Amino acid sequence: MSASSHSWIEILKPNFKVLSFKERGLSGIGALIGLAISSLISWYALDGINAWYIAPMGASSVLLFAVSSSPLAQPWNMIVGNVIAAIVGVSCGLWITDLTFAFSIAVGLSIFLMMTTDSLHPPSGAVAITAVLGGDAVHQLGYYFVLYPVLLNSVLLIAFALFFNRMIGRQYPQPAQVNQRSSDPTPTQKVTIQPEDIEYALEQHTELLDISQYDLESLILEAQQHANHRLSLEGRCADIMSKDVIYINADDEILHALDRFKQMNIMSLPVLNETHQLVGTLALSDVVEWFRNTSEIRSPWQDQVKHIMHRQVVMVKPEQNIADLIPYFVEKSFNYLPVVGEDRKILGIISRSDMIAVLYQNLSERSV
């Protein structure tokens, strides 16, 4: 083979990483066993009807066992995508007499609906074609084709994929990376690439991107540069603050505040009044001190947060420079700083973890 023909072959090959022999073997074995088990169960469950198993399951097995981390391989995508494609395919087969138009419209409409419902699953395109061109065995089922074999096959194959991938140590399905304490990103996520950084980079490209390794690296580099500019120490407090603020009310009972501390596992909380204004701060040590003095006789109105909270609170503005906050966390060991707007209305908080993440990000940039 000449050098020129070899170079043409290299151009046609995708720039994929070749996995180890073990990973390739496990992927093949998983698909083999998964298809065998799910098809046998379908055969017995459907009492051997002609349309007991459909070919698109083979394509789905490639995603489930070879690229299980792909968004297209997640359970939602396979089940919802296949069901949508089956419904559309059966409908087109019943109402459109020309088979070419029928399966073409079925696939096109299925793609639109799958993208609309965030359930894109490439093998579902073949499900739509099968519903139209599957012959008498499929046509006799009508809309029952959606339930069996499509939904039955999909659920059985997904169930085995869940078992097999977890058994060999793969994370499946892929969990969403969210902050378990609040709806805000975690401190680490806030100092790395966020969706708005990706959107900024995408806006710089007017052409449709085919995300190869090179394209993805270029996109991430642009997004990271934008994130670094946003999250430098010259950035604003609004860029790193958590907007989903955990707080207690000034009129809450102290016992309720203790439950809040235990529930959230934090050391101090901002105290707000009925109009959402910041009126103080309460530390867990203040509650502990209150319990140590339980022998004292108190009036009922002395059991509220406002009676033991600290009314002098250090606050920062959203447009304030992040570097201004360092002395409070380093020298005075603050757990958090509230970010307030006009009339002391709380807009967010910046925790010690947020500042550590920002400082780490800046330190990493300087060491590069």
Give the mean pLDDT of 272-299: 83
Residues 109 and 226 occupy one common structural domain: no
Residues 206 and 323 occupy one common structural domain: no
Within-domain flag for 211: yes
Residues 52 and 143 occupy one common structural domain: yes
Consecutive H or E run containing 258: helix 254-264
> In which band, very low, low, confident or very high, does the pLDDT at 162 lie, cut at 50, 70 and 90?
very high
Residues 204 and 261 occupy one common structural domain: no
Give the mean pLDDT of 191-206: 68
- Identify whether the C-beta of residue 237 lies closer than 8 Å to the C-beta of residue 39: no
Predicted pLDDT of residue 48:
74
Q: Which of 265, 317, 320, 309 is nearest to 287 (CA)?
A: 309
Q: Which of 180, 293, 290 is nearest to 244 (CA)?
A: 180
Phi-psi region of 349 (alpha: psi -120 to 50; beta: other; left: phi over 0): beta
Find the range with the poorest average confidence among 91-95, 129-133, 281-285: 281-285
- Identify whether the C-beta of residue 205 lies closer than 8 Å to the C-beta of residue 335: no
Report the percent of the chain where pLDDT is more than 90. 51
Predicted pLDDT of residue 62:
96
**What does the mean pLDDT of the chain come to?**
85
Q: Is the pLDDT of residue 50 over 60?
A: yes
> Pick the residue with more confidence: 70 or 338?
338
Give the mean pLDDT of 86-93: 97
Write out pLDDT tens, residues 176-192.
555 555 667 666 666 66
Predicted pLDDT of residue 348:
94
> In which band, very low, low, confident or very high, does the pLDDT at 233 lie, cut at 50, 70 and 90?
low
Within-domain flag for 5: no
Within-domain flag for 157: yes
Residues 224 and 279 occupy one common structural domain: no
Within-domain flag for 325: yes
Residues 328 and 197 occupy one common structural domain: no
Q: How far apart are CA 294 and CA 184, in angstroms?
A: 37
**How many structural domains is the chain composed of?**
3
Give the mean pLDDT of 308-332: 89
Residues 157 and 23 occupy one common structural domain: yes
Give the mean pLDDT of 47-53: 81
Write out pLDDT tens, residues 345-355.
999 999 988 88
Q: Is the pLDDT of residue 212 over 70?
A: no
Report the percent of the chain where pLDDT is more than 70. 79
Residues 327 and 215 occupy one common structural domain: no
Within-domain flag for 123: yes
What CATH number is associated with residue 296? 3.10.580.10
Give the mean pLDDT of 113-138: 94
Consecutive H or E run containing 102: helix 99-116
Predicted pLDDT of residue 210:
42
Rounded to 10°, the helix 56-66/21-45 angle is 140
Predicted pLDDT of residue 236:
86
Q: Is the pLDDT of residue 337 over 50?
A: yes
Q: Is the pLDDT of residue 334 over 50?
A: yes
Give the mean pLDDT of 192-220: 63
Residues 297 and 325 occupy one common structural domain: yes
Q: Which of 58, 188, 201 is nearest to 122 (CA)?
A: 58
Within-domain flag for 183: no
> Pick the residue with more confidence: 233 or 96?
96
Residues 323 and 350 occupy one common structural domain: yes
Structural domain containing residue 209: 192-230
Q: Is the pLDDT of residue 208 over 70?
A: no
Residues 145 and 206 occupy one common structural domain: no
Give the mean pLDDT of 67-77: 90
Within-domain flag for 33: yes
Residues 254 and 226 occupy one common structural domain: no
Within-domain flag for 12: no
